[in-house]
Chain A
Amino acid sequence: MKKMFLPAFLALFVSLISQPAAATLRIFACEPEWGALAKEIGGDQVSVYTATQAGQDPHHVQARPSMIARMRRADMVIATGAQLEIGWLPVLIRQAANARVQRGQPGYLAASDYVQKLGVPARVDRAMGDVHAAGNPHIQTDPRNIARVAAVLAKRLGQIDPAHAAFYQSRYQEFSRRWQDAIARWEKEAAPLKGTRIVVYHKGWNYLNRWLGLIQVGALEPVPGVPPSTSHLAQLLSKVKQQQVAMVIYAAYQNPRPSEWLAQRAGIPAVKLPFSVGGTDSAGDLFALYDDTIHRLLKAVGKSAGSPDREE
């Protein structure tokens, strides 16, 4: 047995030593939006590994062996935080045993630590479902949050890799300018959406609602994390009809069927939103993520004509 292990160990050590020193920072991004942001700020000085894809429910991710291997060598982990990754990130960090990405190190960045969180529950009880005890973690649905995280990220990258601090800073400035312009454009485009009443599948859009002035009337999940039951859907349907709800919104990773069922009964559109970079074919990068989100929302409003509220 020993005879088999020793050569394996030796071969690995040799391959480790002979490896060229990594020229780029290795970034482990928990969700696609942070991977995309790392690329915007880090440019070719970073190599980004994105642990999940937009088609995945970020609440329920398995801690795969491949992720442990990637985290072992990462210089930085970018997570959403606010307990979104509580089911998999702590075990990854513990198993990868990488000093650079431990909590409290500059290489551990929890994005939601830097934005004001909505939906912090006053009381937490499992009977209320899988509530986000630290507040709603789905901060990427408001681009103004991305801007805040970008500033922190640029600073952190400079801290970890001081030789390129100026590079990261200038890329951040560049990004920030384009981003502010884009936000102004999105807000202008999305102006007709203000006051639109919506129903959501999961309470994952609090930040988007605040940003665009959408009014969330209800959610398909009776409590967070619990799939919609028929009785709850029936109740919601009457609410949707009474309150002139304009659309049902669901994220790309969610099962479209319950949303489509409700939308069909209510005679309103069910709108699939990318939720993260790559969630739809056109949401290929951070800018496209919001372009597509707003485009889809506007299209839905245009389609749901006949509502007296929106006659201009």
Chain B
Amino acid sequence: MMSFRSTLARAALLLCAGSGFPLLLSAESSDSPDEERHHIQEELKRMQQRLLEMEQRLSEQQAVAATPAAPAGSASPNVFNPQISVILGGKYQHFSRSPGHFAVPGFLLGEAAGLDERGLALGESELNFSANVDNLFYGSLTVSLSPEGGAEVEEAYFQSLHMPFGLTLKAGRFFSGIGYLNQFHTHHDDFVDRPLPYRAFLDSQYGDEGVQIRWLAPTDTFLEFGAEVMRGDAFPSAGSAHQGAGAWDLSAHTGGDVGFSNSWKAGISWLHSTARQRDAFDGQGEPVGSYSGESQLWLADFVWKWAPNGNPVNRNFRFQSELFYRTEKGVLAGTAPAASYDGRHWGWYAEGVYRFHPRWKVGFRYSELRADNSGPAVVSGAILDDQGHIPRRASLVLGFSNSEFSRIRIQLAQDDSRRKRDYQFSMQYLMLLGAHGAHQF
């Protein structure tokens, strides 16, 4: 009897629950004694419990989603595809003086040291493929597509994943590990262009075909030594001297933390290169002379990053500075008859970038160069004459990123590279499609 009644009550409750009918009504309409009422109340509780469980199961199902977890050993051949990323870039630039007349008095510049054209322009689009080749090697290819339609291999190298004694071998075409900024692709930067010393000393970025070996010391403090032998085709070398081993360099880097909020890295590098008929270019990309001789570059780099408690997302600050010293001894040929020249050059830049909001960053950079040239090739008013001028440049940048994959920035620069001041305004966008590359420090 009781069990029958309770079944009835349950059925009524179920009906009510199902139709959304007020439960109280069914409880009150029952003409049962107290214990029956108590019974129904308990049923009510049980029903509520069941509803909760159902809700819970539903939210779990939503969490697990409809797909079955992909089995680890999935047979799809795509599993082995390399990581692919595409970078789309474009700019608008305005210069108060003609970029065609760009020059840095006292410096022999490479082809990529000048300014871009005025106006709207598609930047280089970049394509990167990278993956572990097998258990021993990693490979990476970066192709840059110029807006005119050409494709250029920026980097194509393999690297060992592990070797005895903490050694790493890299071979192919790659950006050299000297300095700090050099090895980063430009889309990693917070400014529209590379610092002035990078443009004057390394033609914006130093990369060539070669072999690199790095040794990471087995210490709790980061300590890494590197050596590279390069073909010697890229500025500041040229003509692949010494049977195609025209440049070599050594570098040492160390780094550490100050608590969880601060970390730093510092290093020194030395690049020795031989130039055989290295063209010097004017602002329009026309050769104005050619240099043959030795070039030795010393570089000191320092970077310090602050992120409160190690959280860079909301706020962070980075200070970065590099010092350059170079000597060149050789012969300049070209418009005038060949004559010898002896040069000593200094340069430095320092920049600070502050992210004050998850989406906004502001940065300031100052660069300065000095030249001290002597020898018969130094003719008053000609390319090697520093004209008593100290080239310098200051830029201010404001960057917006909707996510780490999309970046838009505005940069204002006061450029005193030449004797006459140039005001430069740039707007740039960078869009990253595809793989989420891990960033080096």
Q: Is A136 an interface residue (CB 8 A)?
A: yes
A118-B63 CB under 8 A given contacts A88-B438, A95-B216: yes
A residues 98-143 in Cβ contact with B at 8 Å: 98-99, 102, 104, 113, 116-122, 126, 129-130, 135-136
A56-B252 CB under 8 A given contacts A63-B439, A95-B216, A120-B70: no
Q: Is B74 an interface residue (CB 8 A)?
A: no
Write out, one digit per residue, whether chain A residues 1-30 have a CB within 8 A of any chain B CB (1) or not (0).
110010011001001100100000000000
B405–A121 contact, CB under 8 A?
A: no
A122–B168 contact, CB under 8 A?
A: no
A97–B311 contact, CB under 8 A?
A: no
Tell which of A66-74, A156-164, A259-267, A294-302 binds the partner. A66-74
Q: Is A253 an interface residue (CB 8 A)?
A: yes
Q: Is A215 an interface residue (CB 8 A)?
A: yes
**Contact for B60 among A117, A122, A210, CB less than 8 A:** A210
Q: Which residues in B have their C-beta under 8 angstroms from that of A90?
A: 438
CB distance from B112 to the nearest CB of A (A): 27
CB distance from A295 to the nearest CB of B (A): 22
A195–B56 contact, CB under 8 A?
A: yes
Q: Is A188 an interface residue (CB 8 A)?
A: no
A9 to B219, CA, bound (A): 13
Q: Which residues in A have their C-beta under 8 angstroms from that of B218?
A: 16, 19, 72-73
Write out, one digit per residue, whether chain A residues 22-60 have a CB within 8 A of any chain B CB (1) or not (0).
000000000000000000000000000000110111001
A87–B438 contact, CB under 8 A?
A: yes
Number of chain A residues whose Cβ lies closer than 8 Å to a Cβ of chain B: 67
A55-B59 CB under 8 A given contacts A12-B223, A97-B163, A97-B216: no
How many residue pairs at the A-B interface have CB separations less than 8 Å? 173
Q: Which residues in B have their C-beta under 8 angstroms from that of A66?
A: 220-222, 255-257, 263
Q: Is B159 an interface residue (CB 8 A)?
A: yes
Q: Which residues in A have their C-beta under 8 angstroms from that of B69?
A: 116-117, 120, 135
**Contact for A68 among B135, B216, B260, B264, CB less than 8 A:** B216
Tell which of B33-41, B302-310, B328-336, B367-375 binds the partner. B302-310
CB distance from B267 to the nearest CB of A (A): 10
Q: Is B160 an interface residue (CB 8 A)?
A: yes
A195–B222 contact, CB under 8 A?
A: no
A69 to B441, CA, bound (A): 13
A209-B314 CB under 8 A given contacts A66-B221, A195-B52: no
Q: Is B147 an interface residue (CB 8 A)?
A: no
A97-B260 CB under 8 A given contacts A213-B56, A215-B59: no
Using CB atoms, name the residue of chain A closest to B48: A309
Q: Is A280 an interface residue (CB 8 A)?
A: no
A209-B63 CB under 8 A given contacts A72-B218, A215-B56: yes
Q: Which residues in A have their C-beta under 8 angstroms from that of B163?
A: 97, 99
Chain B's interface size range is 35 or more
Q: Is B313 an interface residue (CB 8 A)?
A: yes
Q: Is the interface of A mostly helix, strand, loop or mixed?
A: loop
A120–B440 contact, CB under 8 A?
A: no
Q: Which residues in B have their C-beta under 8 angstroms from that of A95?
A: 168, 216, 440
Q: Is A194 an interface residue (CB 8 A)?
A: yes
B440–A63 contact, CB under 8 A?
A: yes
B439–A62 contact, CB under 8 A?
A: yes
**Contact for B161 among A64, A97, A120, A136, CB less than 8 A:** A97
A65–B256 contact, CB under 8 A?
A: yes
Which among A9, A60, A255 has the greatest number of chain B C-beta atoms within 10 A? A60
A109 to B222, CA, bound (A): 24
Q: Is A276 an interface residue (CB 8 A)?
A: no
B residues 60-119 in Cβ contact with A at 8 Å: 60, 63-67, 69-70, 72
Q: Is A94 an interface residue (CB 8 A)?
A: yes
A5 to B69, CA, bound (A): 52
Q: Is A61 an interface residue (CB 8 A)?
A: yes
Q: Is A305 an interface residue (CB 8 A)?
A: no
A200 to B164, CA, bound (A): 47
**Contact for A94 among B138, B166, B311, B439, CB less than 8 A:** B138
B310–A53 contact, CB under 8 A?
A: yes
B313–A57 contact, CB under 8 A?
A: yes
Q: Which residues in A have their C-beta under 8 angstroms from that of B360?
A: none
Q: Which residues in A have their C-beta under 8 angstroms from that of B270?
A: 1
Q: Which residues in B have their C-beta under 8 angstroms from that of A62?
A: 263, 305, 307, 310, 312, 439, 441
Using CB atoms, name the residue of chain B closest to A16: B218
Using CB atoms, name the residue of chain B closest to A206: B63
B310–A91 contact, CB under 8 A?
A: no
Write out, one digit per residue, whether chain A residues 81-92 have a CB within 8 A of any chain B CB (1) or not (0).
000001111110
Q: Is B285 an interface residue (CB 8 A)?
A: no
Q: Is B185 an interface residue (CB 8 A)?
A: no
Q: Is A277 an interface residue (CB 8 A)?
A: no
A120–B135 contact, CB under 8 A?
A: no
Write out, one digit per residue, whether chain B residues 206-222 have a CB within 8 A of any chain A CB (1) or not (0).
00000000001111111
Q: Is A96 an interface residue (CB 8 A)?
A: yes
A56–B403 contact, CB under 8 A?
A: no
Q: Is B162 an interface residue (CB 8 A)?
A: yes
Q: Is B265 an interface residue (CB 8 A)?
A: yes
Q: Which residues in A have their C-beta under 8 angstroms from that of B358?
A: 227
Q: Which residues in A have their C-beta under 8 angstroms from that of B138?
A: 94
Given A62-B312, A72-B216, A102-B161, 13 new contacts (CB under 8 A): A53-B310, A64-B255, A66-B222, A73-B220, A88-B438, A91-B440, A97-B167, A120-B64, A121-B67, A122-B66, A126-B403, A195-B49, A210-B63
A-B contacts, 9 of them at CB < 8 A, read A1-B270, A56-B310, A62-B263, A64-B255, A95-B168, A98-B166, A119-B63, A119-B65, A120-B69
Binding site for B on A (CB under 8 A): 1-2, 5, 8-9, 12, 15-16, 19, 52-53, 55-57, 60-66, 68-70, 72-73, 86-91, 94-99, 102, 104, 113, 116-122, 126, 129-130, 135-136, 194-195, 206, 209-210, 213, 215-216, 225-227, 253, 255, 309
Closest 8 CB pairs of A and B: A65-B255, A65-B222, A195-B52, A99-B162, A91-B438, A69-B222, A56-B310, A55-B309
